[in-house]
Structure 1
Amino acid sequence: MLAGRLMAGLRPRLPNVHFNGIGGPRMMEQGLVSDVPMDTLTVRGLFEVIPRYREIKGIQNRLRDRLLLDPPAAFIGADYPGFNLGLEEQLRAAGIPTVHFVSPQIWAWRGGRIKKIQRAVSHMLVIFPFEEQIYKDAGVPVTYIGHPLAEVIPLRPDVAGARQALGLAPDARVVTVMPGSRMAEIKYLTVPFVRAARLLAQRDPSLKFVVPMAGERQKAAFTGLVATAGLADVALQIVDGQSHTAIAAGDAVLVASGTATLEVALFKKPMVIAYKVMEASWQIMRHMGYMPWIGLPNILSREFVVPEFLQHAATPEALADAVWRQLEDTAGRARLEQRFTDMHHSLLRNSAQESAEAVLAVIGK
């Protein structure tokens, strides 16, 4: 989605442009020729990458060799710093301009990565306002382009329309449950999330639970885990895609840490954030961080505006209690709505135009 908007901004300015690389459907709509399916590169965690390392490294090397043989006007790495920064470093050393779109979370952990970025990146495009000064201080050319999600999500969500689309009563109390789109997220969060839903249903049997699924593979994994854990009695309304509709319909959202937390904030909804990974990965990662927040709404607010539960703390009981407090706290919901409205305005820019102009400057057009 991010790269697709950048490409849409470039196309009118470069009518004969050719896009080649690795991407998904939004990029292909803009004419991308994708060398490999984007899902091939989807890995989460530290130890989880080990079984896939040779495959992913092989893809990186083949892409590098082809680009060195036939240099592009620019290489644009969209997020995925573990793959893209190493590639960008080699390409920039060979004289190919490199643009990195979406800053690695050097402000959250791995601050030493800034030195690699200085070597690898000709120009950085950042999507959060506080990131711009970090790169200016490091001497890396940078442009704040706003967050594309702030353009996609309306400032005033249509709650009634979303509930009608999902067949929910206008006056129902709705909890949206989002265990993630990556298979590893679903593996670790499905059971605690659904157990939390069961506990909430015991407190209020009229509660409705909506669970958007990113695809058939994710849905099959989710329903399989629910059945294996003996949770088939929990009344869940599973919907295909429609994550934005499901968020808009909710009174509160139980959500995996990641970009979805920002989507929930832009829909002005209370949320409870959870994060769980393989235990070995967690033992390493918990010593790497120096920022107290992991959820994007808290990072942008620089305080805990919504609760976070990490690894062992993400128990069904803790999650259910936190969601229940949000459902019951009318004044707190109003404060969050105003806070998230202000956040939405701060992230709102013409990201396609801003990012395209930065790329054009890099390639001298």
Structure 2
Amino acid sequence: MSREKQDGAQSPTLSDLVASPAALRAATTRPRRIALVAGESSGDALGAGLVNELRKRFPDAGFAGIGGDAMRLAGCDTWFDSGELAVMGLSEVLRHLPRLLKLRRALRERVLAWQPDVFIGIDAPDFNLGVERWLKQRDVRTVHYVSPSVWAWREKRAQKIGASADMVLCLFPMEPPIYARHGIDARFVGHPMADEMPMEPDQAAAREALGLHAYTPVLAVLPGSRLGEIERLAQTFLEAARSVAATVPYLQIVVPAANADCRSALEPLVARLSDLSPPPKLIDGQAREAMVAADVVLLASGTATLEAMLAKRPMVVGYKVAPWTYRIVKAFGMLKVERYALPNVLAGADLAPELMQDECTPSNLSAAVTNLFQHPEIVGALQPQYRELHEALRQDASARAADAIARLVR
């Protein structure tokens, strides 16, 4: 199928290539073109690592699409900024829907005109899978990097993802077998976070960086990185922290705020604990440093649980969703897992206490956290299991992903 290039020139047809050896050489020797789309900062970081590794395999390749500062620094021509995709929550998505649909139309037409050798959608499945499907129908090879959680929610989605992507690159080892059941090419490449984080985190250095005392107990409290999570969880988590402080002498409580909005929501709640000695410490960002500095972590279910595991810290996991959402999920059997926290899912065992929905109360959380402070043997038993999981995920993810994409392109 003949397509127009951006400069208006016609692409060579199959008959052109057969008739002209020169045209064939030009078509097969032009530098590779690789299109990528990443949403949010996590996708931007994944994209940057992937661009750097792909450039080693294709030194003359051109990279273009949607990304942020990290991808631009890696040499990707960002037609649009990844911040334009960073919308969360139903109401915000609906408000931005016309703009997002217009952006998606403009992007896919521009990608098609650019004629990439492959299109890579990085996470952001609500946006990327539709673009991938449209391009795949027009004979563009497509890759989806970071599988949606098919292991937890509606496995049949794997079939729809396969209709969009020629290949799925997975961060977790339990994901490719699910795709295999549906005849879809999916590869486990490892988790970049496991590559980044040291096997033996430096707790003393983290405490010094955060201005925490070196020899007194520390509890890190992370009630989520979104305002909805903070509204549902922060007060419960901080009430639990107060109870723990009544039992654990000289407890230092550190609360990372993911951004300025989260800090504004957390400030009045943290202020209610100002009578504690020492008072809680609210910090901007630095969630990883807070976890490494801590003796125990109290946190919301999500990717942060993986980060706490890689930091080798014992944790208690709590979570609540809106009551009507929980009733719908339970009624329709939409959730397919018995465990929620990623360390527990990966291990197939209850490494971390999980207190969900009605069980997520200050008294339950404080009891579980206090138990970890009072029983160091539990913490010691966790360490080899955490290291084993870390080693399983540490696969040089960007390089493995680039190898898989290079094979597809060639």
Matched length: 362
Shift of 1:296: 0.6
**How far apart, CA to CA, are the structure 2 residues paired with 1:34 and 1:220?**
32
Q: Does 1:311 align with 2:328?
A: no
* Counterpart for residue 154 of structure 1: 198
2:283 to 218, 239, 244: 239
Number of the residue aligned with 1:320: 366
- Deviation string 1:282-334 (CA, Å, 9 cap, x unpaired) is 33334410111111101101122111122332222221111111111211111
Equivalent position SS for 1:211: strand
Cα gap change, 1:61/1:325 in structure 2, threshold over 3 Å: closer, same or farther? farther
The match for 1:131 is 175
Corresponding residue number in structure 2 for 1:343:
389
CA shift digits 1:250-300 (9 cap, x unpaired): 111011211111010011111111223333333333441011111110110
- Distance across 2 between alignment mates of 1:292 and 1:61: 39
1:190 corresponds in structure 2 to 234
Distance 1:224 1:44 in 2: 24
Runs of 4+ in 1 over 6 A off after TM superposition: none
Q: State how far apart, in whole Å, the 1-side matches of 2:86 and 2:247 are.
A: 38
Alpha-carbon distance in 1 for matches of 2:148, 2:295: 32
- Structure with more contact order per residue of length (Cα contacts < 8 Å, sep ≥ 6): 1
Where structure 2 has 5 or more consecutive residues not aligned to the other structure, the ranges are 1-44
- Alpha carbons of structure 1 residues 119 and 216: separation in structure 2 relative to 1, 3 Å: same
1:9 match: 53
Matched position secondary structure for 1:12 = helix
Alignment of 1:167-182 (within 5 A): 167-182=211-226
Structure 2 counterpart of 1:104: 148
8 Å CA contact 1:72, 1:96 repeated in 2:
yes
Letter of the 1:213 partner, please give it: A
Q: Secondary structure at the match of 1:261?
A: helix
Cα gap change, 1:28 to 1:219, in 2 (>3 Å): farther
Contact 2:151 2:174 in 1 (8 A): no
Flag the 1:330–1:225 CA change in 2: closer, same or farther, 3 A: closer
Q: Which residue of 2 aligns with 1:214?
A: 258
Alignment of 1:64-143 (within 5 A): 64-143=108-187
Offset of 1:45 from its aligned partner? Answer: 5.5
Q: 1:250 maps to what in 2?
A: 294
SS in 2 for 1:138: coil
Cα RMSD after superposing both structures: 2.2
Pairing partner for 1:292 from 321, 330, 338: 338
Q: Distance in 2 between matches of 1:172 and 1:334?
A: 18
Contact residue 44 and residue 184 of structure 1 kept, 8 A: no
For the pair 1:200 / 2:244, whether they are aligned, the reply is yes
Q: Distance in 1 between matches of 2:107 and 2:329?
A: 29
Contact 1:92 1:120 survives alignment (8 Å): yes
| Letter matched to residue 355 of structure 1 | A
Q: Which residue of 2 aligns with 1:360?
A: 406
What's the secondary structure of 1:28's corresponding residue? helix
Q: CA–CA distance in 2 between the matches of 1:36 and 1:179?
A: 32
CA distance in 1 between partners of 2:121 and 2:268 (Å) = 35
Give aligned-pair identity as a percent: 38
> Are 2:72 and 2:78, in contact at CA under 8 Å, matched by a contact in 1?
yes
Work out whether 1:301 is the aligned partner of 2:347: yes
Structure 2: distance between partners of 1:114 and 1:275: 26
- In structure 2, what is the Cα distance between the partners aligned to 1:225 and 1:25? 33
The residue type paired with residue 279 of structure 1 is P
- Unmatched 5+ stretches in structure 1: none
1: distance between equivalents of 2:88 and 2:319?
12
Is 1:175–1:251's contact at 8 Å kept on the other side of the alignment? yes
Residue by residue over 1:239-260, the C-alpha shift from the partner in whole angstroms, topping out at 9 and shown as x without a partner, is 2232222111111101121111
Partner secondary structure for residue 171 of structure 1? coil
Deviation at 1:61, TM superposition (A): 2.9
Q: Is the 8 A contact 1:103 1:126 kept in 2?
A: yes
- Give the TM-score, by structure 1 length: 0.91
